[in-house]
Chains A and B, each alone.
Chain A
Amino acid sequence: MGVSLSLIHIVGICFFSVSVEQIKNLHKRFEQLSGNEETISRENLENIPALANNPIRRQIIGAFFDKRNQHQNEVGSFEEIGFEQFLMVMSHFRPPTLKTTEEERETMRKEKLRFLFNMHDTDNDGTITLEEYRKAVEELLSKSGAIGQEAAKAIADAAMLEVASTNVPHMAPDDFYEGITFEHFEQILKGLKKESRLGDQPLEGVVLVKECLCCCCF
Chain B
Amino acid sequence: MAVLRLTRSSSGPRLTEFICVLLLVLVSVASASRDVVPGSNETWGNPARATQDDPHHQTNSTGHKKAFPVLSFHYEEVKKPLEISLWILLALLMKLGFHIIPRVSNVVPESCLLIFVGLLVGGIIKAIGGEAPGLDAKLFFYYLLPPIILDAGYFLPIRPFTENLGTILVFAVVGTLWNAFFIGGMMYGVVDLLSCLLFGSIISAVDPVAVLAVFEEIHINELLHILVFGESLLNDAVTVVLYHLFKEFAHAGTVTVADAFLGVVCFFVVSLGGIMVGAIYGILGAFTSRFTAHTRVIEPLFVFLYSYMAYLSAEVFHLSGIMSLIACGVVMRPYVEANISHKSYTTIKYFLKMWSSVSETLIFIFLGVSTVAGPHAWNWTFVIVTVILCLVSRVLGVIGLTYIINKFRIVKLTKKDQFIVAYGGLRGAIAFSLGFLLTDSDMKNLFLTAIITVIFFTVFVQGMTIRPLVELLAVKKKKESKGSINEEIHTQFLDHLLTGIEDICGHYGHHHWKDKLNRFNKAYVKRWLIRGERSTEPQLISFYNKMEMKQAMMLVESGSAAKLPTIVSSVSMQNIQTKGPARRRAIPSISKSREEEIRKILRANLQKTRQRLRSYSRHDLLIDPFEDVSEVRFRKQRVEMERRVSFNSDCDMSHYLTVPAKSQETPPVRKVCFESEHQIYTYDDSESPRGSAQASRPHPSSPDAVSLLDESPQRPSQRGALRTRGDAEVRAKAPDDKEEQDQLKLSRCLSDPGPKKDEEEDGSFLS
User: Which stretch of B242-250, B394-402, B419-427, B565-573 is in the interface?
Assistant: B565-573
Residues in B with CB closer than 8 Å to A129 are 578
Our pick among A29, A64, A153 for the contact of B649 (Cβ within 8 Å) is A153
Q: How far, in whole Å, are A203 and B292 apart by their CA atoms in the complex?
A: 48
Instruction: Return the chain A residue nearest B579 by Cβ.
Output: A176
Does the CB pair B538–A147 fall under 8 Å? yes
Binding site for B on A (CB under 8 A): 26, 29, 32-33, 45, 48, 50-51, 53-57, 60, 64, 90, 93, 95-96, 98, 116, 119, 129-131, 136-137, 140-141, 144-145, 147, 149-151, 153-155, 157-166, 168-177, 188-189, 191-192, 194-203, 205-206, 209, 212-213, 217-218
Given contact pairs A116-B493, A162-B484, enumerate 6 new A-B contacts (beta carbons under 8 Å). Answer: A141-B538, A145-B538, A154-B649, A164-B575, A197-B410, A200-B510
**Chain B residues with a Cβ closer than 8 Å to the other chain, count:** 69
List 25 interface pairs A-B (beta carbons < 8 Å), by A numbering: A54-B500, A60-B496, A60-B500, A130-B577, A147-B541, A154-B647, A155-B485, A159-B486, A159-B489, A161-B603, A164-B576, A165-B604, A168-B569, A168-B571, A172-B570, A188-B487, A189-B487, A191-B481, A191-B484, A192-B494, A198-B498, A201-B502, A203-B505, A205-B505, A217-B506
Q: Which of A154, A168, A177 contacts B544 (CB 8 A)?
A: A154
Q: How far is the CA of A101 from the CA of B658 in the complex (A)?
A: 52
Tell whether B524 is near chain A: CB-to-CB under 8 Å: no
Residue among A57, A136, A149, A192 facing the most chain B CB atoms (10 A cut-off): A192
| Closest chain B residue to A150, Cβ basis | B647
Q: Is the pair B574, A147 in contact by a Cβ cutoff of 8 Å?
A: no
Interchain CA distance A168-B495 in the complex, whole Å: 29
* B509 beta carbon closer than 8 Å to chain A: yes
A60-B500, A192-B491, A205-B509 given as contacts; is B607 within 8 A of A165 (CB)? yes
- The residue on B at minimum CB distance from A144 is B538
CB–CB A169/B571 < 8 A: yes
Q: Which residues does chain B contribute within 8 Å of A203, judged by CB atoms?
A: 505
B416 CB–A CB distance under 8 Å: no
Whole-angstrom distance between the Cβ of A25 and the nearest chain B Cβ: 9
Q: Tell me which residues from 488 to 539 in chain B have a Cβ below 8 Å from any Cβ of chain A.
A: 489-512, 515, 519, 536-538
In the complex formed, the residue of A with least CB distance to B481 is A191
The CA-CA distance from A160 to B498 in the complex, in Å, is 24
B412 on interface, CB distance cutoff 8 Å? yes
Q: How far is the CA of A185 from the CA of B502 in the complex (A)?
A: 25
Docked CA distance A197–B496 (Å): 13
Cβ < 8 Å to A, chain B residues 268-309: none
Q: Contact between B572 and A173 (Cβ–Cβ < 8 Å)?
A: yes
B575, A151: Cβ atoms closer than 8 Å: no
Q: When the two chains form their complex, are residues B661 and A199 in contact, meaning their CB atoms are under 8 A apart? A: no
Are A212 and B507 in contact (CB-based, < 8 A)? Answer: yes
**B504 to A45, Cβ gap below 8 A?**
yes
Cβ of B130 under 8 Å from chain A? no
Q: Taking the complex as formed, is B144 at the interface, i.e. its CB lies under 8 A from any CB of chain A?
A: no
Who on chain A is nearest to B407 by CB?
A98
Let me know if B603 and A136 touch, CB within 8 A.
no
- Seen from chain B, the residues whose Cβ lies within 8 Å of a Cβ on chain A are 163, 406, 410-412, 479, 481, 484-487, 489-512, 515, 519, 536-538, 540-541, 544, 547, 568-579, 600, 603-604, 607-608, 647-649, 655, 658-661
> Complex formed: what's the CA distance from A150 to B504 in Å?
31
B496 near A95: Cβ-Cβ < 8 Å: no
Cβ B569 vs Cβ A169 within 8 A: yes
Q: A56-B496, A171-B570 are in contact. Are A202 and B489 (CB under 8 A)?
A: no
Closest 7 CB pairs of A and B: A165-B569, A150-B647, A144-B538, A201-B509, A50-B503, A60-B500, A169-B569
CB-CB < 8 A to A149: which residues of B?
A: 647
A199 and B660 within 8 A (CB): no
Give A67 Cβ to nearest chain B Cβ, in Å. Answer: 18
B490 touching A51, Cβ below 8 Å: no
Considering the chains assembled together, what is the distance between the CA atoms of A170 and B487 in angstroms? 22
A95 to B501, CA, bound (A): 14
Chain A residues lying within 8 Å of B570, measured Cβ to Cβ, are: 169-173
User: Looking across the interface, which residue of chain B has its beta carbon closest to that of A137?
Assistant: B489
Residues of chain A lying within 8 A (CB to CB) of residue B508: 209, 212, 217
CB <8 Å contact, A200 and B575: no
Task: Kindly identify which residue among B485, B509, B578 contacts A202, using a CB–CB cutoff of 8 Å.
Answer: B509
Q: Which residue on A lies nearest to B662, using beta carbons?
A: A173
State A90–B498 Cα separation when bound (angstroms): 11
CB distance from A30 to the nearest CB of B (A): 10
Complex CA gap A157/B645 in Å reads 15
Minimal beta-carbon separation of B694 from chain A (angstroms)? 16
- The minimal Cβ–Cβ distance linking B93 to chain A, given in whole angstroms, is 41
Task: For residue A59, give the distance in angstroms from its CB to the closest CB of chain B.
Answer: 8
Contacts of A169 in B (CB 8 A): 568-571
Most chain-A CB neighbours within 10 Å: which of B481, B604, B658?
A: B604
Q: Contact at A157–B506, with CB atoms within 8 Å?
A: no
Residues of chain A lying within 8 A (CB to CB) of residue B648: 150
Residue from A150, A172, A201 in contact with B507 in the complex, judged by beta carbons closer than 8 Å: A201
Residues on the B chain within 8 Å of A96, using CB: 410
Contact flag A173-B661 (CB < 8 Å), given A155-B541, A165-B608, A191-B487: yes
Interface class of chain B by DSSP: helix
CB proximity of B325 to chain A, nearest CB, Å: 28
Report yes or no: A164 in contact with B486, Cβ–Cβ below 8 A. Answer: no
Which of B492, B501, B572 gathers most chain A CB within 10 Å? Answer: B501
Q: Shortest CB–CB separation between residue B117 and chain A, in angstroms?
A: 40
* Alpha-carbon distance between A189 and B493 when the two chains are bound, in angstroms: 12
Q: Which of B489, B511, B574, B607 contacts A173 (CB 8 A)?
A: B574
Instruction: Find chain A residues with CB under 8 A from B506 CB.
Output: 29, 32, 212-213, 217-218
CB–CB B541/A151 < 8 A: yes
Q: A51-B503, A202-B501 are in contact. Are A161 and B604 (CB under 8 A)?
A: yes
User: How distant is the Cα of A174 from the Cα of B579 in the complex, in angstroms?
Assistant: 11
Q: Which B residue's beta carbon lies closest to that of A53?
A: B519
Q: Which residues of A contact B515 (CB under 8 A)?
A: 53
B contact residues around A131 at 8 Å (CB): 578
Contact status B490-A189, CB under 8 Å: yes
Q: How far is the CA of A137 from the CA of B539 in the complex (A)?
A: 13
CA distance A144 to B536 in the complex (A): 8
Q: Which residues of B contact A176 (CB under 8 A)?
A: 575-576, 578-579
* Complex contact B576–A160 (CB within 8 A): yes
A95-B479 Cα distance, complex, nearest whole Å: 26
Inter-subunit contact A196/B411 (CB<8 Å): yes
Tell me the complex Cα distance, A191–B222, Å. 13
Is there an interface contact between B507 and A209, defined as CB atoms closer than 8 Å?
A: yes
Complex contact A56–B497 (CB within 8 A): yes
Residues of A within 8 A of B573 (CB): 157, 161
A199 B600 Cβ-Cβ under 8 A:
no
B571 partner residues in chain A, CB cutoff 8 A: 161, 164-165, 168-169, 171, 177
Report the separation of the CA atoms of residues A162 and B508 in the bound assembly, to the nearest whole angstrom.
Answer: 36
Cross-interface CB contact of A55 among B412, B496, B502, B544, cutoff 8 Å: B496
Say yes or no: A153 contacts B491, CB within 8 Å.
no
Q: Which residues from chain A contact B507 at a C-beta distance below 8 Å?
A: 201-202, 205-206, 209, 212-213
How far is A176 from B538 in the complex, measured between Cα atoms in Å? 32
A202 to B547: give the CA distance in the assembly, Å: 33
Whether B493 contacts A140 by the Cβ 8 Å rule is: yes
Q: How far is the CB of A75 from chain B (nearest CB, A)?
A: 21
Q: Indicate if the CB atoms of A192 and B490 lie closer than 8 Å.
A: yes
Q: Which of B163, B540, B659 has the most A CB atoms < 10 Å from its CB?
A: B540
Given contacts A147-B538, A159-B485, A162-B484, whether A171 and B569 have CB atoms under 8 Å apart is: yes
A201 touches B541 (CB 8 A): no
How far does the alpha carbon of A176 sit from the alpha carbon of B572 in the complex, in Å?
10
Bound together, the chains give a CA A88 to CA B564 distance in angstroms of 52
State whether A194 touches B490 (Cβ < 8 A).
yes
In the complex, chain B residues whose CB is within 8 Å of the CB of A212:
506-508
List of B residues within 8 angstroms of A119 by Cβ: 497
Contact call B544/A173, Cβ cutoff below 8 A? no
Contact between chains at B491 and A194 (CB < 8 Å): yes
Distance (whole angstroms) from the CB of B330 to the closest CB of chain A? 21
Q: Which residues of A contact B498 (CB under 8 A)?
A: 93, 197-198, 202
A217–B607 Cα gap in the complex (Å)?
46
